[in-house]
Amino acid sequence: MWLTDRIALVLGRDLTLGTLMQRIAAAHGSRRLVEEAGTGRSLTFAEAADLVDRWAGGIAARTAPGERVVIATANGYDQFLLTLAAARAGRVPAPVNDQMSAREIDHVVADSGAALVLRDAAEVADGEPFGTAVATDPSSIAALFYTSGTTGKPKGAELTHRGLLGAMPLAAAFPSELRKDELVVALPVAHIYGFAIAVGAACAGMPIFFLPRFNPLRVLDAIEERRSSMFAGVPAMYRMLLEAGAADRDLSCVRIWMSGADAMPAELAGTFKKFGASLTLPLVGPVGEAVFAEGYGMVETGGGVAIKVSPPMVPASFGGSMTAPLPGNRFKVVDESGDEVAVGGVGELLLTGPGVLRGYHGAPDATKGAFTHDGWLRTGDLARRGPFGIVNLEGRMKDVIKRGGYSVYAVEVEQALEEHPDVLEAAVVPIPDERDGEVPVAAVRLSAGTDLAGLDLDSWAAERLSRYKVPVRFVAVDELPRTGTNKVQRGEVVALVSAERSARDSPPRKSPPRKSAARKATPKSPTARPGPAS
C-alpha cells in the first residue's frame, strides 16, 4: 500500500482506540505485530485486529454501553488488545498493573464502579465478533489510567481518545517496509509509558518482542540473539542491564535506546549510546553510536509531552536535562505566587496540551487541585526556564530538601554521586534536623566488593557540589525500595535510613539484632557540617 494511503488510514480525524487496530491492520495485514517471550506466541496485525473484534463482542455481551471494564489480567500484549476491545465496544477500559496489591486492585474496581473485571482474555474469547466500532467522539473519555498511588490511593485519570493517541499515528510515516527493525519491551502495559510505546510501535508497523517481566539477562539475550534494533525501558532497567554485563555483549545492532518515566542520568545514557551503532556496513562492521531518546510525561498527560534526543557522537550530557515540548503542547514555569519566572529561574512546570486528563474519576476536589484557575495542569515538577519554550527539568517539587534556607535538589545530588565508578545508584532524601530544618542523606547501592569506608563519598560530593548540598550521611543498601514501575519509593528510603540511624544511635548493649537492607553507614561529625545558612 502506498505510504500516503497508509497514513490516511491511520490519521483519520475519527480515529479512536476502538478503530485503531482495524485501521493499522488494513495497512500492515500479515506482517508480524508482536512475539511474546516464553510462549513464543506470535500475532500478525490482521490476527490482532480479529482478536480485538471478537473480544469486543464478548465484552459487549456482558456489559452495557459506557460502563467501565477493569482489565486486571497479567501483564502482556493481550492486556493492550483487551483495552482496545473494550473501547471498540463503547465501554471505558481501566487497565491495572498486575504489580498492584490486591487491596489496590479492589480500590480501582470500587472507585471506577466497574461493571466487569477481566482477569483473563479467555473470559470473553467466546463472543461473537462485534463488527463496526461504536461511533465515538475522539475528544470523549477513552479510558481510566490509575496513578501509582505513591501519594495516596490511586486516582483514575480520565484520558480521551485523542489524548491517548496523541501524535503517535504520525509514526505511520515510518518506513517499516524498508528496514528490518524490532523493538524489545519489558514494560507494564497498564503504565502510561508502556501503553504509549505499544500504540506508537503498532502505528509504525514495527514488531515488538514483548517480555511480561523485566529480566536483564533475558533482555540482553533477546537483543543480542535477535539483533533487535531498539529497546524501550526506564532508567532502573538500564542500570540493571549494565550490572548484568551489558558491556560484554554485542549490542551494536541497537540503533535507538529509549527511556521514560524517570530522570535518566546522562552518563548512563552515554554508555548505552556507545554500545549501539548508527549503522553496520559490509566488511566494515558497526559504525558510530546509537541515538538515545528520553521522553517526559505522566499519566495525567496521556503519555509523552516532551522529548530530548541525543544524536550519535554528541555527548549525552549536552544540554543537561533540557527538553522541548512536542507539537501541540505548551510549557510555563511559575513561582509560588503563580507568576511566570524569568529565563534562568526555577519554578513549578505547568503545561497544557491535547493529552491532558479531563479530570480524576469521581474526585472533583482532586481535579480542581490539579489545575490552575486558568486551566494549566500542575505537574509537581521543578523546571528551569529556558528560551523558546525549552525547560531544564530539575526534579520533583516534593524532592527538594530545604536546608537552612537553601534548596537542595535531590536529583542533582544523586547524579553527582552516581558519577562515582563504584556507586551503582543513589537516592537522596531529607531527614529532620534541629538546626537546619532538614538535611540530605544518601542511600547508595555500591559495586560488589566495595564499602563506604574506602570510598570517601563525602569528599567526592564536595568536589562537585556546594557544601550545603553534600549529604550529611551515607547509608549503603543492597536494594532500593521500588514501585511496580521501578521508581524508587522515597518514603520507604526515608524510613530505611531513619531506622538505620535509630539503630546506630541506640546503646550497643540494649540494641536488639536487626535485619535491614542497610549494610553500613558512615556518620558525619557535627563539627563537619556547613554553617547555619546552609
pLDDT at 484 over 90: no
Is residue 465 one of the residues assigned to a domain?
yes
| CATH number of the structural domain spanning residue 376 | 2.30.38.10
Is residue 40 one of the residues assigned to a domain?
no
Phi, psi of 30 (to 5 degrees): -85, 5
State the average pLDDT over residues 104-116.
Answer: 93
Domain tally for the chain? Answer: 3
Distance CA 184, CA 37 (A): 10
Distance CA 388, CA 445 (A): 39
The least confident of 389-398, 488-497, 513-522 is 513-522
State the average pLDDT over residues 123-146.
Answer: 93
CA–centroid distance for 328 within its chain: 21
pLDDT at 48 over 90: yes
DSSP letter for each residue of 207-220:
-EEE-SS--HHHHH
Q: Which of 12-16, 50-54, 99-103 shows the highest mean pLDDT?
A: 50-54
**329 and 447: one domain?**
no
Q: Which of 500, 516, 438, 502 is nearest to 472 (CA)?
A: 438
**86 and 157: one domain?**
yes
Distance CA 367, CA 157 (A): 9
| Of 376, 397, 418, the domain-final residue | 397
Is residue 253 one of the residues assigned to a domain?
no
| CATH number of the structural domain spanning residue 148 | 3.40.50.980
State the average pLDDT over residues 411-439.
Answer: 87
**25 and 144: one domain?**
yes
The least confident of 46-50, 165-169, 342-346, 371-375 is 165-169
* pLDDT tens digits for range 292-343: 999 888 889 988 888 888 888 887 777 666 788 888 899 999 998 899 999 9
**337 and 429: one domain?**
no
Is residue 269 one of the residues assigned to a domain?
no
The helix or strand, by DSSP H or E, that contains position 366, with its residue range, turns out to be: helix 364-370
Q: Are 223 and 211 in contact (CB under 8 A)?
A: no
Is residue 410 one of the residues assigned to a domain?
yes
* pLDDT tens digits for range 501-534: 655 554 443 433 433 344 433 333 333 333 323 2
pLDDT at 75 over 70: yes
| Of 125, 151, 170, the domain-final residue | 170
Query: Residue for cell digits 497508509?
Result: 6
pLDDT at 404 over 50: yes
| Per-residue cell: 134 | 461504536
**49 and 134: one domain?**
yes
**150 and 25: one domain?**
yes
**334 and 427: one domain?**
no
Q: State the number of CA atoms in the 13 A half-sphere of 525 facing the CB.
A: 2
Give the pLDDT score at 83: 98
* pLDDT tens digits for range 235-255: 889 988 998 999 999 999 999
Name the E strands within 434-500. 437-446, 473-477
**337 and 440: one domain?**
no
Averaged confidence pLDDT in the chain? 85
| Of 350, 376, 397, the domain-final residue | 397
Residue 187 gets the label, from left (phi > 0), alpha (psi -120 to 50) or beta, of: beta
Domain residue limits at 373: 325-397
Q: Are 77 and 36 in contact (CB under 8 A)?
A: yes
Helix then strand count (H, E) for the chain reads 14, 27
**98 and 127: one domain?**
yes
pLDDT at 78 over 50: yes
Is residue 121 one of the residues assigned to a domain?
yes
**21 and 144: one domain?**
yes
Cα dihedral 88, 94, 96, 102 sign? negative
State the average pLDDT over residues 35-49.
Answer: 94
Helix extents (H) in 232-326: 235-243, 266-275
Give the pLDDT score at 433: 82
Please name the amino acid found at residue 222: A
Q: Are 151 and 378 in contact (CB under 8 A)?
A: no
Residues facing residue 44 across a β-bridge: 32
Please name the amino acid found at residue 11: L
Give the pLDDT score at 516: 38
The pLDDT confidence band at residue 178, using thresholds 50, 70 and 90, is low
Is residue 235 one of the residues assigned to a domain?
no
The pLDDT confidence band at residue 161, using thresholds 50, 70 and 90, is very high
**450 and 349: one domain?**
no
Is residue 193 one of the residues assigned to a domain?
no
The residue with greater pLDDT, 480 or 505, is 480
Give the pLDDT score at 524: 37
Give the pLDDT score at 230: 96
* pLDDT tens digits for range 421-434: 999 999 999 888 87
**Pairing mode of beta strands 330-334, 116-118:** unpaired
| Per-residue cell: 191 | 503504565
In sequence order, which residues have a C-beta less than 8 Å from that of residue 130 and are 6 or more positions away? 53, 54, 56, 57, 60, 85, 88, 89
pLDDT at 405 over 60: yes
| CATH number of the structural domain spanning residue 430 | 3.30.300.30
State the average pLDDT over residues 441-454.
Answer: 90
**491 and 364: one domain?**
no
